[in-house]
Structure 1
Amino acid sequence: MDRLNQAYGAGTMRDRPTFIRVRAAAAYHAAVDLISSVIGAVRTGTPHARRITESGAWGARYPAFVGVGFHVVLGGTGWLVGRGGTTTALRAGDVVLAPFGSEHGLSHAPRPLGALPMAPMSGEPPAAGPSDFDFLCGCYRLDRGRAHEFLRHLPDVVVIPRDEDGQARLRLLTALLDDDVSEDRPGGGASRAALLDLILVHALRRWQERSGEWPAVADPRIAAALHAIHDGPERAWTVQRLSGVAGMSRTAFVRRFTAAVGKPPMAYVTGWRLVCAARLLRETRDPLAAIARRVGYATESAFGGAFRREFGVAPGRFRADMDLAR
């Protein structure tokens, strides 16, 4: 059991109850920070938001994309149309979440998805006057990389029903986002991203409360390892050290981690380091060598090679592309 303290640079641990308490605390923090890690990953994309109003007979199909998106129903009633022909009634206060950008549609009535016209991508403001259906769309589009692993544990499209306890908070967030997208103001890119983050956090929390934990967080040993990875991407992680954090043998740890998370431990470590690097490239002007060290790479060249394999471009080009997209 000394491996847990070795992984964190602490002294020898002698009593098992202490180890269990430490691991339980790490599992709790993993549950808390999992949504934060998801938001951190999607923030490497470009934020978009738009308010739309519809009246009469209407429908729109939203094609698949790489990223995460949502619709918040502000007023009226309508229908969500899924890829398999499923339909779900929508009302004011409902949130439609597309965790990894799956194709779906919205309509005034249940209709086949293929019969719906493609949603216009223009940023036209909503028409003035009353409407039958009023909603706010938001998304992060990932031009490079892919959505967070844990979003794959969610259904293609999720309807999070109106929550009376959270309605005041959701109304405030949507009002702020609507105001932000209706006028081009200084700092709009930063405020839009922050508001998208908060609405996504609200939706993911509500889904988690209704549906239970993600498999990785439900397993306290794997959750402890995840918390350690998320908390310290710069650490010199190995399977041996992570299995020590989890209090398991290497073989059992690799098997259970891969089953819960969807990829082996060190592949997940690499992916998380590069997600953190992409966020730093987008949000800071730190030199590439400094970013490399902050995410666990000893040299800028090793970091650059790993980043190119994950995102398809060099870190400097990724930063330049993000600057142009703002």
Structure 2
Amino acid sequence: MDVLSEVVRSVRIGSAGARVIRQSGAWGLRFPAFAGSGFHIVTHGTCWLITEHADPVALSPGDVVLTLTGAAHGLAATPSALADLPPVVMGPFPPAPGPYDVEFVCGAYRLAHGRVPQYFRALPDPITVTPDHDGHPGLPALIDLLRADVSGPGLGAGATLPALLDLVLVHALRQWHHATGRPETDDPAVAIVLREIHDDPGRPWTVGRLSEIAGLTRAAFTKRFTRAVGQPPMGYVISSRLQRGAQLLRQTDAPLAAIARQVGYSTEFAFSSAFRREYGVPPSRFRRLPFSPELGDGTSG
């Protein structure tokens, strides 16, 4: 599995939600910062992406706005200041009926516990992606599927929505990497190590073993890895193990001791202690937490 796909899947421990929002006239919405990762996709009309520290960005049909770390931002009919936009109202409401000037689909994983992966925190936020129908035909097709999936209730939505969110995030990020010429990491030696860690986070990794894979001395590897990823090698290994553990807690009924062994902890107690430090709750409670997705209803009141 490639690094990007695995990192995107790591945010699936959050609550998955998606909405269709429609607006007309002189409208504007402010999306407050949140813990998680998400996106907006313009499916009809035009609008502007508003952020606090950058110029407004014009958006057209097919454009995708990625908010990988949940940074505050806004969407509006015309350029404006972020602080002047009314906050979006949260709740499970259908899109406004009748004619509309603009429509966009919002999707997000909201994290009640834990943090967005370091990989995402090292990238700009937000990111805009313009569709490339020739080079990346899969993304427009996924957008059509997602819009259809969230436009009305249907059987299997609980299973299809996370899969579609995963795919949209992966394909949009791949297209952004291709368009910007930016690889998954600017350091090929680090990229090799990241793939090894994500393929098997439970392996008994050491800095020495990772540096051998990179073909570097321990000191050179640690310096380059920390510069490229934003945290030391073993800190990243621990985060990857706990993210995989959180996925298994959410997606399987495996006993806690089995999950602990699978992600590299010799005992259930050691895993539970590390998990609680990272996510703020013990694994058993994390597994019982309900999903409660909320996305904006597209109104400004």
**Cα distance change, pair 227–110 in 1 and its aligned pair in 2 (3 A):** same
Counterpart check, 1:198 vs 2:167: yes
Q: Which residue of the other structure, out of 43, 53, 57, is the alignment partner of 2:12?
A: 43
Deviation at residue 243 of structure 1 after TM alignment: 1.1
Asked if 1 retains the 8 angstrom alpha-carbon contact of 2:139 and 2:172, the reply is no
CA distance in 2, matches of 1:162, 1:174: 10
**Is it true that 1:131 corresponds to 2:82 in the alignment?**
no
State how 1:119-268 maps to structure 2 within 5 Å.
119-165=88-134, 169-214=138-183, 217-268=185-236
Alignment pair present for 1:286 and 2:254: yes
**Residue deviations 1:272-314, cap 9 Å, x none?**
0000000011111100011001100111000000000000011
Q: Is the 8 A contact 1:81 1:105 kept in 2?
A: yes
**SS where residue 46 of structure 2 aligns?**
strand
C-alpha contact 2:23 2:101 (8 A) present in aligned 1: yes
Match of 1:20 in 2: none
Report the alpha carbon displacement of residue 166 of structure 1 after superposing the two structures with TM.
6.2
For 2:24, the equivalent position in structure 1 comes to: 55
Between structure 1 and structure 2, the one with the greater Rg is 1
User: Which runs of 5 or more structure 2 residues have no equivalent in the other structure?
Assistant: 294-301
- 1: CA distance, partners of 2:154 / 2:9: 24
**TM-score, normalised with respect to structure 2:** 0.92
Aligned AA for 1:176?
L
| Partner Cα separation in structure 2 for residue 178 and residue 84 of structure 1 | 30
Match 1:101 to one of 63, 70, 94:
70
SS in 2 for 1:218: coil
C-alpha separation between the residues in 1 aligned to 2:257 and 2:28?
49
CA distance in 2 between counterparts of 1:119 and 1:325 reads 17
TM-score of the pair, normalised by structure 1? 0.85
Structure 2 residue 282 is matched with structure 1 residue 299: no
1:15 corresponds to? none
The alignment's C-alpha RMSD in Å is 1.7
**1:116 pairs with 85, 96, 99, which one?**
85
Distance in 2 (CA, whole Å) between partners of 1:55 and 1:164 is 28
- Structure 1 171/211 Cα, relative in aligned 2: closer, same or farther at 3 Å? closer
Q: Indicate the residue corresponding to 2:242 in structure 1.
A: 274
Structure 1 unaligned runs (5+)? 1-31
Measure the CA separation in 2 of the matches of 1:176 and 1:164. 16
- Deviation at residue 126 of structure 1 after TM alignment: 1.5
Once the two structures are superposed, the pairs formed by residues 48-87 of structure 1 within 5 Å of their partners are: 48-87=17-56
1-structure distance, mates of 2:218, 2:74: 45
Q: How many percent identity over aligned positions?
A: 51
Q: Distance in 1 between matches of 2:103 and 2:243?
A: 34
Residues 37 and 287 (structure 1), Cα distance of their counterparts in 2 relative to 1, 3 Å cut: same
Q: Work out the CA distance in 2 between the residues paired with 1:181 and 1:154.
A: 28
- State the SS of the aligned residue for 2:92: coil
